[in-house]
């Protein structure tokens, strides 16, 4: 059975997922829009249609990029698609600098961010890059995230930072929080 996942316009409904699933069962091929792949992956995972699950997963792997890696990681985790989760996680570890500059990075919850920056597999040129990413994440929604900064800082390997860099960043963060208090 050969699974091929080209792009084709179809209505975004549960009925279309059912139709695609039946088409796959009878023909071994699917035609679906890219945006429907996550839903189709979930349905195929739930129903145990491994050929369709594998076809969707392979296509999502091909489309994996720093821009969508965080969303793919979350999708893989929520659907139990371990291979998609692992591929996305690996890309995040390898391309952290690029991933940290995406809007998806700024939308991470504290737990996920902590999980990523705590990983021993995180590849960065300097721990300064991790510190800057944490500060950027915090600053994007300071009133909401400011209280979490200290907890996240425990995941940053501060001992690997030059003292001057650490002092500048702490000074910047302190001024940022003081100016927020004045605004309140």
Nearest CA to 132 out of 104, 107, 168 is that of 168
Q: What global pTM score does this model have?
A: 0.74
Residue 13 has pLDDT above 60, yes or no: no
Q: What are the tokens at 42?
A: 């979930």
User: H or E stretch including 122?
Assistant: none
Tell me which residue has tokens 């909401």: 144
- 34-70 confidence digits (pLDDT tens): 788 888 888 888 888 888 888 888 888 899 999 999 9
- 79-112 confidence digits (pLDDT tens): 888 889 999 999 999 999 999 999 999 999 999 9
- 104-163 confidence digits (pLDDT tens): 999 999 999 999 999 999 999 999 899 999 989 999 998 898 888 888 888 888 777 777
Task: Walk me through the domains of the chain, giving residue ranges and CATH numbers.
Answer: 1-63 (no CATH), 64-183 (1.25.40.420)
**Which stretches does DSSP call E strand in the chain?**
none
């Amino acid at each position: 059975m050969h699974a091929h996942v080209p792009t084709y316009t179809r209505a975004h409904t549960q009925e279309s997922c059912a139709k695609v699933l039946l088409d796959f069962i009878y023909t071994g091929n699917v035609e679906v829009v890219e945006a429907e792949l996550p839903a189709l992956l979930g349905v195929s995972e739930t129903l145990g249609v491994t050929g369709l699950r594998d076809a969707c997963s392979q296509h999502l792997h091909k489309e994996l990029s720093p821009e969508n890696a965080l969303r793919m990681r979350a999708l893989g985790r929520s659907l139990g698609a371990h291979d998609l989760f692992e591929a996305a996680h690996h890309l995040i570890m390898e391309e952290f600098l690029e991933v940290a500059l995406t809007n998806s990075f700024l939308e991470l919850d504290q737990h996920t961010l902590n999980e990523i920056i705590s990983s021993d597999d995180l590849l960065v040129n300097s721990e300064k890059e991790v510190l800057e990413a944490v500060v950027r994440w915090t600053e994007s929604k300071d009133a909401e995230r400011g209280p979490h900064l200290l907890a996240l800082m425990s995941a940053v390997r501060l001992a690997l930072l030059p003292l001057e860099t650490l002092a500048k960043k702490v000074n910047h963060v302190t001024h940022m929080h003081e100016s927020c208090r004045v605004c309140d």
